[in-house]
């Protein structure tokens, strides 16, 4: 039960974040996608991220994040399925404009 509530809360937060960002930049996307990411702490990710990792190294480790490990939380099957659905929706929109 708690897992479902947590997942619903995460999904709600994702949608809220994506809508907020699209509104901030005046975008009107035909679909939203929110996918995991990739993080390799051994590589530079820009000055700010590098500083944040160095400053928070102890807290990251304390909270169970192994900064010596590569994290890849992307689900390529979900990404591909979303892209196919996006292409279908875009194609239907284009066909509707042509009529």
Let me know: does 36 contact 10? Beta carbons within 8 Å.
no
Residues 39-72: pLDDT tens digits? 887 887 788 878 877 777 778 788 888 888 888 9
Which residues make beta-bridge pairs with 71? 39
d(CA 49, CA 79): 25
Report the predicted TM-score, pTM, of the whole model to 2 decimal places.
Answer: 0.60
CA dihedral 57, 58, 61, 67 (to 10 degrees): 20
pLDDT for 1 equals: 55
Q: Which residues, including other chains, have CB under 8 Å from residue 95's CB and lie 6 or more apart?
A: none
Separation between Cα atoms, residue 39 and residue 72, nearest integer Å: 6
pLDDT (0 to 100) of residue 80: 96
Sequence spans of domains, the chain? 38-72
């Amino acid at each position: 039960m708690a897992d479902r509530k947590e997942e619903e809360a995460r999904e709600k937060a994702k949608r809220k974040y994506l809508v907020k960002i699209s509104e901030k930049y005046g975008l009107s996307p035909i679909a939203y996608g929110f996918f995991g990411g990739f993080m390799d702490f051994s590589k530079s990710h820009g000055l700010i991220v590098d500083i944040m990792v160095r400053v928070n190294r102890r807290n990251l480790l304390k909270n169970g994040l192994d900064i010596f490990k590569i994290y890849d939380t992307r689900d390529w099957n979900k990404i591909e399925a979303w892209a196919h659905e996006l292409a279908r929706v875009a194609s239907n929109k284009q066909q509707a404009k042509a009529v």
